């Protein structure tokens, strides 16, 4: 087979795909797709895509700090992301002020994450997988945690779906009509922290946007109702992750790269078609 | 606190010595008036006099620092389910996909927790509201594909779908072309005439609204006053109110117009003060019923 740069096809790819760690990766992909597809829509409707992106970075020092202390990466990530989410949620939705505060904390958190990583060699070695994801190393326990999160997410969404939608699309009217918009804001940010925490192992903190926001943006272009847009986003997210797993088994490219490439490709095609139709 | 004007059961909005302070700054005070049901009123005043704040206070979304505001017989905020509210932000970019019909339906379903599929009755209500504002056949249009005027109609249909007794609109004429302004005034006139709906709106330009207005709340000197229409249309008052020379003209058609004279430049002294100045120096006696000391 061709060596060199060789984007060589691996004839044994089926063996790779049927390996036990792949089962976990596929299961994790499904859990992530459900959560990201549902919440991505609200993130865009609330104009909170930057805040969602920032949560992943705010989780970074939690992740590297957890490694430093010998705790699970997801735990540290989750705790920091949740803390960041509640602070950003408390800042309200006045976009200009909030974005500056969010961006400042984002930069500081990333620096802190680097500092923690440098304090120990094990954290340092995990830095790359936290930044760029390592979906192939997801454990049974993590998959179980993801599944539990998904069930909780769907239960909560079933209860708050319409008020959350109303307050996301038209906060002023929703508030006048008696929707508890402050509570909805905190609930949204807290759920988002969870979504980010389970999505980071797949593509890492740096590429998370393409997995949580981009499919939802594509769904918005393709579908005509919020619910359908969420379904489309989930399917696209799933196809991106599973496609990334399959293609990375066939070709020597990291799954994260192929996942974000597929997600970006779907979005670019949808935008292109939309543009031509107008 | 003595109540100087007899409170009638058909009053829609009643202010009793109401005052609002935000961030330590007094916005307005001594709001003491009653707006009857079935009226069409405009809230007028220069920028920064607290027109939108007044609407927020009526919705119970801004706390009063003094006095009380009663809307539809209950303290402000308690009857919001029977109030249709159309904020100015309807024109803001919609990032999410949503059809006109879905947006209108949120006016019925958006406050409800739990899994509740949209019922046939709710769809019919939405269709009826959309027909009323002239959006028939546009149910499947996305908000992002609609013009500002159309989106405003969607926002009004959303406000109407719960069959409100009071409709509040914040700057409904802003950003609309002449034809859309006419169409809006027509819709408001029908709502008032056919359903007896009380309508209140924040407005800068009274001309377009004159045919349907029955009165106005003017935020003149740091506190809101309510007057029936013929009293508001006074040149001196409007000049004072707007901070620029304003004339009232009665035309052969009987319509009255409020027109800033074109030769008015900055050099002619006009008896005006900024809202902040007026609030600071203009203190009535604390007892209710004190008139304006001119």
Q: Which two tokens stand for residue A192?
A: 């988002």
| A176:B85 CB<8 A | yes
B71 pairs with which residues across the strands?
A: B13, B74
Name which residue leads in pLDDT, A126 or B129: B129
Chain B nearest C-alpha distance from A278 (Å): 10
pLDDT in tens, A131-156: 888 888 898 999 999 999 999 999 99
Instruction: Please give the residue range of the domain that contains residue A67.
Output: 13-271
Minimum Cα–Cα distance from B95: chain A residue: A45
A14-28 pLDDT, tens digit each: 887 888 889 999 999
Test the A interface: residue of B76, B90, B98 with most A CBs within 10 Å: B98
Is position A1 within any domain?
Answer: no
Burial of B136 (0-12, 13-18, 19+ CB in 10 A): exposed
Among the residue ranges A38-47, B119-128, B261-270, the one predicted with the least confidence is: B261-270
Q: Which range scores top for mean pLDDT: A237-251, B17-31, B250-264?
A: A237-251
- Residue B126: the pLDDT is 94
A175: nearest CA partner in chain B: B61
Number of independent structural domains in chain A: 1
Overall average pLDDT of the B137-156 stretch: 88
Which of A252, A251, A149 shows the shortest CA–CA distance to A201?
Answer: A149
The answer to whether the beta carbons of residues B225 and B217 sit under 8 Å apart is yes
Candidate from A31-40, B25-34, B94-103 with smallest mean pLDDT = B94-103
Q: Coil, strand, or helix at residue A62?
A: helix
Of B4, B16, B153, B162, nearest in space to B75 by CA? B16
DSSP designation for A138: -
A236 located within any domain: yes
Tell me the per-residue pLDDT of A157-208, one tens digit each, with 9 for 90 and over. Answer: 999 999 999 999 888 899 999 999 989 999 999 999 999 999 998 888 888 8
Does B82 contact A at CB distance below 8 Å?
no
Is A237 within a domain? yes
Mean pLDDT of chain B: 80
CATH number for the domain that contains residue A248? 1.10.3470.10
Q: Is residue A198 part of a domain?
A: yes
Find the closest chain A residue to B102 by CA distance.
A225
Residue B78's closest chain A neighbor by CA? A178
Inside any domain, residue A199: yes
Residue A14, CA distances (Å) to A11, A244, B78, B143, B247 in order: 8, 14, 64, 47, 85
| B105 in Cβ contact with B49 (< 8 Å) | no
Q: Is A276 part of a structural domain of the chain? A: no
What phi and psi, each to the nearest 5 degrees, are found at residue B141?
Answer: -70, 145
Cβ-nearest to A226 among B81, B98, B115: B98
Q: What is the mean pLDDT of residues B178-203?
A: 92
CB contact under 8 A, A162 and B113: yes
pTM value surpassing 0.90: no
Count A/B contacts: CB-CB distance under 8 Å.
88
B57-88 residues labelled b (16+ CB within 10 A) or e (exposed): bbbbbbebeebebbbbeeebbebbeebbbbbb
Give the mean model confidence (pLDDT) for residues A219-243.
Answer: 94
Whether residue A184 contacts residue A164, with contact meaning beta carbons closer than 8 Å, is answered with yes
Contacts 24+ apart (CB under 8 A), A66-70: A67/A116, A67/A117, A67/A120, A67/A122, A67/A123, A67/A126, A68/A116, A68/A119, A68/A120, A68/A122, A68/A123
B contact residues 86-105, partner A, Cβ 8 Å cutoff: 86-87, 89, 94-99, 102-103
Test mutation, B78, B82, B86, B113, chain A, max A CBs within 10 A: B113
Of A47, A173, A225, the CB nearest to B102: A225
Which chain B residues contact residue A229 at CB under 8 A? 96-97
Looking at the complex, report in whole angstroms how far the Cα of residue B270 sits from the nearest Cα belonging to chain A: 37
φ, ψ of residue B228 to 5 degrees: the values are -70, 160
Any A CB within 8 A of B140 CB: yes
Chain A residues with beta carbon closer than 8 angstroms to that of B102: 225-226
Give me the residue from A177, A179, A220 closest to B96, CB to CB: A220
Q: Is residue A256 a part of any domain in this protein? A: yes
What pLDDT, in 10s, does the model give residues B83-141? 999 998 765 666 667 889 999 999 999 988 988 888 999 999 999 999 999 998 888 88
pLDDT at B5 over 60: no
Task: Please name the member of B99, B110, B114 whose beta carbon is closest to the beta carbon of A166.
Answer: B110
């Amino acid at each position: 087979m061709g060596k060199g740069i060789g984007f060589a096809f691996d004839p044994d790819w089926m063996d790779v795909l049927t390996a036990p760690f792949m089962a976990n990766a596929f299961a994790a992909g499904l859990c992530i797709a459900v959560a990201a597809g549902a919440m991505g829509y609200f993130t865009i409707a609330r104009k909170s895509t930057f805040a969602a992106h920032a949560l992943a970075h705010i989780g970074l020092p939690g992740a590297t700090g957890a490694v430093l202390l010998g705790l699970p990466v997801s735990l540290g990530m989750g705790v920091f992301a949740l803390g960041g989410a509640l602070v950003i949620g408390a800042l309200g939705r006045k976009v200009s002020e909030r974005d500056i505060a969010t961006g400042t904390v984002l930069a500081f958190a990333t620096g802190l994450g680097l500092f923690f990583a440098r304090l120990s060699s094990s954290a340092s070695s995990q830095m790359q997988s936290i930044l760029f994801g390592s979906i192939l190393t997801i454990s049974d326990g993590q998959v179980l945690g993801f599944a539990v999160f998904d069930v909780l997410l769907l239960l909560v969404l079933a209860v708050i779906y319409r008020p959350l939608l109303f307050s996301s699309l038209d906060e002023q009217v929703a508030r006048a009509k008696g929707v508890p918009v402050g509570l909805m804001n905190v609930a949204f940010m807290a759920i988002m922290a969870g979504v980010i925490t389970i999505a980071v192992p797949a593509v890492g903190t740096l590429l998370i946007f393409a997995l949580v926001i981009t499919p939802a943006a594509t769904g918005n272009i393709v579908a005509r109702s919020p619910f359908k847009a969420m379904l489309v986003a989930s399917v696209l997210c799933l196809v991106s992750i599973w496609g990334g797993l399959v293609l990375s088994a066939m070709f020597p490219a990291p799954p994260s790269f192929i996942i974000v490439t597929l997600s970006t490709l779907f979005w670019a095609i949808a935008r292109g078609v939309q543009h031509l139709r107008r | 606190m003595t109540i100087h004007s007899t409170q009638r059961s058909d009053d829609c909005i009643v202010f009793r010595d109401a005052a609002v302070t935000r961030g330590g700054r007094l916005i307005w005070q001594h709001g003491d008036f009653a707006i009857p049901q079935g009226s069409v009123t405009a809230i007028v005043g220069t920028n920064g006099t607290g027109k939108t704040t007044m609407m927020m206070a009526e919705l119970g979304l801004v706390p009063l620092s003094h006095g009380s505001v009663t809307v539809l017989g209950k303290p402000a905020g308690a009857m919001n389910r029977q109030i249709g509210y159309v904020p100015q932000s309807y024109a803001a970019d919609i990032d999410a996909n949503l059809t006109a019909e879905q947006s209108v339906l949120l006016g019925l379903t958006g406050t409800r927790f739990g899994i509740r599929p949209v019922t046939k009755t709710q769809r019919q209500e939405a269709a009826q509201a959309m027909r009323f504002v002239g959006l028939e056949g546009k149910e499947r249009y996305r908000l992002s594909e609609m013009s500002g005027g159309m989106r405003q109609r969607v926002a009004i249909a959303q406000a109407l779908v719960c069959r409100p007794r009071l409709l509040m609109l914040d700057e409904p004429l802003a950003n609309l072309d002449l034809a859309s302004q006419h169409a809006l005034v027509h819709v408001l006139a029908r709502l008032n005439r056919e359903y007896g709906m009380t309508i209140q709106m924040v407005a800068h330009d009274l001309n377009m609204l004159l045919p349907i207005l029955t009165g106005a709340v003017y935020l003149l000197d740091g506190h809101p006053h309510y007057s029936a229409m013929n009293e508001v249309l006074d040149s001196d008052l409007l000049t004072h109110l707007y901070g620029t020379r304003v004339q009232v003209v009665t035309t052969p058609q009987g319509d009255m117009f409020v027109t800033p004279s074109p030769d008015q430049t900055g050099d002619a002294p006009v008896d005006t003060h900024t809202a902040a100045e007026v609030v600071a120096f203009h203190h009535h006696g604390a007892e209710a019923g004190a008139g304006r000391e001119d």
